[in-house]
């Protein structure tokens, strides 16, 4: 095969890699991914395992002598999620970093290539596991397959609770295996426990297989997971103890029981469910762990080697990237910024979607790096989880916990070029009011933006033109039926939406109205 092969198929001469070395612009997203620097002794199953948490893997081409592989996902969406996940936190196979990028190819055609038998066998084993037709336990025990009527609800007990584990942390870990609909946390027998409901029992099955017995943080916070007898959870309040991700309109119900009395009785849980760290003064709320990296998923017996979603050589641990950062720290180190376009105000607006930003410092000697100080550690965690791996001004932003406890303001007379700003008294903070509705409307960056505080005189075209002038392509727009002060606008990409939010949040629309912009969970 030679490099003139049509771009629909893939060739085995490693041209993607040669082009990569010349710092070529990144390929547009494709469901075919190009992996470089794979270990010589890696197995097909291990390569496939990198894609499994993100969706179905449909084909694989190994070029072991070139230490490369091509992995085809069932959808472009799955490939994009995978690349976004692994860009800030490089995956490791056999303790060696592996680099992943989009391929120039739209699909893999491997029918006529030699030495494909092992790859096809590994793919068949995975699809058999995924369709539930293969007993995963390797023995007669029925725990391997998803049984008819099996519950989509997991009961989770966390042993050796050295650090507090928040509802958000659980959501982040378990979301890797499917859509999490609801979570309820409570304490019973002095143990921190949770009930977690997936959209599908298959997701619950995979999560139990992969996570039971794993530690959330190094050497502590061990997950013990079983299927619940309940088939559905009824969540009454959205707060730090319970959450229904399908009903963002629920009240916070402060101090109210999160479980209905009948459910509470089923668990012998007290009426008012208390957090195990409700009164642990000075305890770090949550340790930084972006995107659950370092989690090593155990083997699927009889089919696959270790399913590692790991960016750490320490298997069986969620090793925390930037673990030199301090648990409970509220300062983030943000790297890989575009030094020509980024400003302290831009970072203040963007990170302010996930918490109140007190100070921002762009590094004087290395302007692609910045420190962002949030109001507290939970907000820093939230901002890091949502923004790390997103594209901003053509570069993939990375955020980790900083070693610094605070951002220092420059001394008088010290040259700073306006790179350090104090926003602690800004009127633009979204979360100053306790119990503000903004706490319930925190969503990941998306191409659809929620606009509010629109005066009556502003038209559809007026708003569309505002975004077009900011360099965006407007795909769709609609006012809310019941409240014309609010609207949704869908832009060409998530990156466009992030940049529009930075530029247009608090834009003066006249009549004493300043536009409010946030990410939406809806599409138009």
pLDDT for the residue 435: 63
State yes or no: pLDDT of 113 exceeds 50.
Answer: yes
Statement: residue 306 has pLDDT above 80? no
How many CA atoms lie within 13 Å of 179's alpha carbon, on the beta-carbon side? Answer: 6
Task: Tell me: pLDDT of 267 over 70.
Answer: no
Distance, CA of 44 to CA of 46 (rounded, Å): 5
The answer on pLDDT for 494 being more than 50 is yes
Does pLDDT of 320 surpass 50? no
Query: What whole-number percentage of the chain has pLDDT above 70?
Result: 75
Q: Please state the separation of Cα 413 from the chain's center in Å.
A: 42
- Kindly calculate the radius of gyration of the chain based on its CA atoms and give it in whole angstroms: 24
pLDDT of residue 15 exceeding 70, the answer is: no
pLDDT of residue 328: 65
Q: Name the band, by pLDDT with cuts 50, 70 and 90, for residue 252.
A: confident
pLDDT above 70 for 44: yes
pTM to 2 decimal places: 0.45
Residue 358 in contact with residue 422, Cβ under 8 Å? yes
Q: What pLDDT does residue 37 have?
A: 94
487 phi, psi to nearest 5 deg: -155, 165
pLDDT (mean) for 58-64: 91
What average pLDDT does this structure show over 156-174? 87
Which segment of 112-116, 141-145, 209-213 scores lowest on mean pLDDT? 141-145
CA dist., res. 41 & res. 88, Å (int): 25
505 pLDDT exceeds 90? yes
94-98, 213-217, 282-286, 360-364: least confidently modelled range: 282-286
pLDDT greater at residue 257 or residue 53? 53
Calpha distance 27→368 (Å, rounded) = 23
In sequence order, the β-bridge partners of residue 224 are 157
Rounded Cα gap, residues 390 and 397, in angstroms: 6
Higher pLDDT, 73 or 300: 73
- Mean pLDDT, residues 36-56: 84
Rounded Cα distance, 492 and 473, in Å: 5
Residues 6+ apart with CB under 8 A from 275: 164, 185, 187, 192, 240, 241
Round the average pLDDT of the chain to a whole number and report it.
76
Pick the most confident of 275-289, 296-310, 506-520: 506-520
Q: How far is the C-alpha of 335 from the C-alpha of 500, rounded, in Å?
A: 21
Phi then psi for 94, rounded to 5 degrees? 50, 45
Q: Give pLDDT tens digits for 414-451.
A: 777 889 999 999 999 998 876 667 777 788 899 999 99
How many other C-beta atoms lie within 10 A of the C-beta of residue 469?
10
Q: What is the mean pLDDT of residues 213-217?
A: 82
The DSSP call for residue 326 is P
Per DSSP, 133 falls in state -
């Amino acid at each position: 095969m030679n490099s003139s092969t049509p771009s629909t198929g893939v060739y085995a001469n490693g041209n993607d890699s040669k082009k990569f070395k010349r710092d070529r612009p990144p390929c547009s997203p494709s469901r075919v991914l190009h992996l470089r620097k794979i270990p010589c002794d890696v197995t097909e199953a291990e390569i496939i395992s990198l894609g499994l948490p993100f969706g179905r893997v449909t084909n694989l081409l190994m070029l072991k002598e070139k230490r490369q592989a091509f992995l085809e996902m069932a959808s472009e969406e799955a490939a994009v999620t995978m690349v976004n996940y692994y860009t800030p936190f490089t995956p490791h196979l056999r303790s060696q970093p592996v680099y992943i990028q989009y391929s120039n190819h739209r699909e893999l055609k491997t029918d006529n290539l030699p030495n494909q038998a092992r790859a096809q066998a590994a793919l068949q084993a995975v699809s058999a596991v995924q369709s539930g037709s293969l007993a995963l336990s390797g023995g007669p025990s029925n725990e391997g397959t998803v049984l008819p009527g099996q519950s989509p609800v997991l009961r989770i007990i966390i042993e050796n609770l050295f650090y507090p584990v928040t509802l958000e942390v659980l959501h982040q870990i378990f979301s890797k295996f499917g859509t999490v609909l609801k979570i309820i946390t409570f304490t019973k027998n002095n143990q921190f426990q949770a009930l977690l409901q997936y959209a599908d029992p298959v997701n619950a099955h995979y999560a139990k297989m992969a996570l039971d017995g794993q530690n959330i943080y190094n050497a502590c916070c061990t997950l013990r997971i079983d299927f619940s007898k309940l088939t559905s959870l009824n969540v009454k309040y959205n707060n730090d103890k319970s959450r229904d991700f399908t009903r963002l309109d629920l009240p916070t119900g402060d101090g109210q029981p999160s479980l209905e009395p009948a459910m509470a009785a089923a668990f012998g849980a007290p009426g008012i469910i208390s957090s195990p760290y409700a009164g642990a003064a000075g305890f770090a709320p949550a340790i930084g762990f972006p995107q659950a990296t370092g989690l090593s998923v155990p083997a699927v017996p009889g089919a696959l080697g270790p399913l590692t979603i790991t960016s750490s050589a320490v298997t069986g641990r969620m090793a925390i990237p930037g673990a030199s950062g301090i648990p409970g720290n509220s300062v983030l180190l943000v790297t890989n910024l575009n030094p020509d376009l980024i400003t302290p105000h831009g970072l203040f607006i963007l990170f302010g979607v996930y918490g109140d930003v007190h100070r921002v410092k762009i590094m004087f000697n290395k302007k692609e790096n910045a420190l962002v100080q949030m109001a507290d550690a939970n907000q820093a965690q939230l901002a890091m989880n949502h923004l790390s791996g997103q594209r901003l001004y053509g570069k993939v932003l990375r955020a980790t916990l900083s070693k610094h406890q605070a951002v220092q303001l420059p001394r008088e007379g010290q040259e700073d070029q306006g790179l350090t700003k104090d926003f602690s008294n800004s009127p633009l903070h979204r979360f100053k009011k306790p119990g503000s509705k903004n706490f319930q409307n925190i969503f990941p960056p998306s191409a659809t933006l929620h606009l509010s505080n629109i005066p009556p005189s502003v038209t559809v075209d007026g708003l569309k033109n505002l975004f077009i002038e900011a360099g965006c392509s407007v795909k769709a727009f609609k006012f809310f039926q019941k409240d014309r002060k609010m609207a949704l606008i869908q832009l060409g990409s998530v990156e466009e939406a992030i940049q529009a939010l930075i530029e247009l949040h608090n834009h003066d629309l006249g009549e004493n109205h300043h536009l409010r912009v946030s990410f939406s969970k809806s599409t138009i």
